[in-house]
Copies of this chain bind each other. A is one copy, B any other.
């Protein structure tokens, strides 16, 4: 592992802009932004994927390996990734730092407390929560309606028992009410952190966050509780992007980690923007499949930050295509050309969708050991028919060596094809129509049904003056529809919008379809039970 000071030097960052966390992690001070802000920007490449399956598609892996490959062919590249949430590492997820020869390091540290950003979000979130109940306890001058406090508490742990509770029991312990916890990555503050341009934008967004409603039905915000400055103070370090490296020494900006359903699921704007000033190419990822991740990356992150993505890489795997063609999980390792043929419609629709944003696409087949050439050939043929370039990525087994051709093709594409990026809808479109537009154009449903609660919610959001916000779809990642088992490229379905909620600080309206859990639980035998650390500090079972 090279000292992070040297990795930073490679991309022109002087020591004075670094704040080291040990020898291999560093935060980057805003002073660097002042130095580089007038430079031209590199090109932004999004790595997205077909719908996720139990086999794992390797989006993070591919992002890391591609960045290594681009550097190997002489294209100065930085990868911009999300920070792993600590809680799920102890459940069944394992780490989120890539694997094989495409990993970011120090992987243990990054998967554990890293530089404390997520802990800072937890603290800021819970300070606001405590101030809300404290306000009610001490006279409730704002006349908050206890039944309509929408701000929950947060913890970076998988703990289903905290989803729904009654707090304030006992003598002198405040107002008795229903409450609950989110996992920290689902906090609006995490989304705010990721979308803020700087501390002053952060301050304004935090202030706009709606924490509940008063007895007259008006929204009550964090600024009214006097909590904003204290939250800014708690978040000031967390706003600085983190620099680490890949196994091959490629620089990686790991910053922010919002949920990809009730939030937008992309790494921070400050990290992306800074990377674009430091590298020729910036490779970044968005959560889940392109129906959720890419759509939100384009419609929320790029819209708000004024970013223009130059290209998108769509990660597919032979296994995931077969799964979408109807093969059960246990049989994915066996060749099955017919099923693969059936499942290609999933890839095809994602390609069509990305093109609707005017962004050039390259398909990357993330190669697994058992893949047979007949299957791979079928994917390549379909891509050719669609006029889309396709490359095989062997970054897990080979690192940059397995991404040379992949990287060269991407560079060619960046050179030859111009991005005509436009978000799918304008700000002016009303929220209901925005939802219908996403459902119609991206998911390909025949219609949208709104529950009475959703109808009321939409009316309220309009009344509060937030009708011009983009929508943030909370939907199962496994299907284009709201039914997790409807694989492939389903048609003819109706989307059911259960509820809508306002994230005024993040700047979007969350559209709840189906039942999205914002606090995961642990499995019967959690990963935590199988971890160990030996006398040399070597950890097993974490990654």
What is the interface of chain A, defined by CB distance below 8 A to chain B? Answer: 19-23, 27, 86, 90, 108, 112-113, 116, 119-120, 122-123, 126-127, 129-131, 133-134, 137-139, 153, 155-170, 172-175, 178-179, 199-200, 226-227, 229-230, 232-234, 236-237, 521-522, 524, 526, 528-529, 531-533, 535, 537, 539, 541-542
Contact = CB atoms under 8 A, between A and B. Distances in A.
Contact of A161 (B27, B122, B167): B167
A79 to B, nearest CB: 24
A130 B159 contact: yes
A344 B20 CA distance: 50
Contact of A113 (B123, B164, B539): B123
B159 A164 contact: no
Contacts of A153: 162
A123 B164 contact: no
A229 B137 CA distance: 40
Contact of A533 (B90, B236, B526): B236
29 contacts: A19-B21, A19-B23, A20-B20, A22-B27, A112-B233, A112-B234, A113-B120, A113-B234, A119-B122, A119-B123, A126-B157, A130-B157, A130-B161, A131-B522, A131-B526, A131-B528, A134-B159, A139-B524, A161-B175, A163-B173, A164-B169, A164-B170, A165-B179, A166-B166, A226-B529, A229-B532, A230-B528, A233-B531, A236-B537
Nearest to A24: B19
Contact of A134 (B155, B168, B526): B526
**Assembly stoichiometry (copies):** 2
Contacts of A522: 130-131, 134
Given A166-B165, A227-B528, A232-B533, A156 B22 contact: no
Contacts of A529: 131, 226-227, 230
Contact of A528 (B226, B236, B535): B226
A103 B226 CA distance: 28
A167 B199 CA distance: 36
B138 A524 contact: yes
Given A20-B21, A173-B164, A522-B131, A159 B533 contact: no
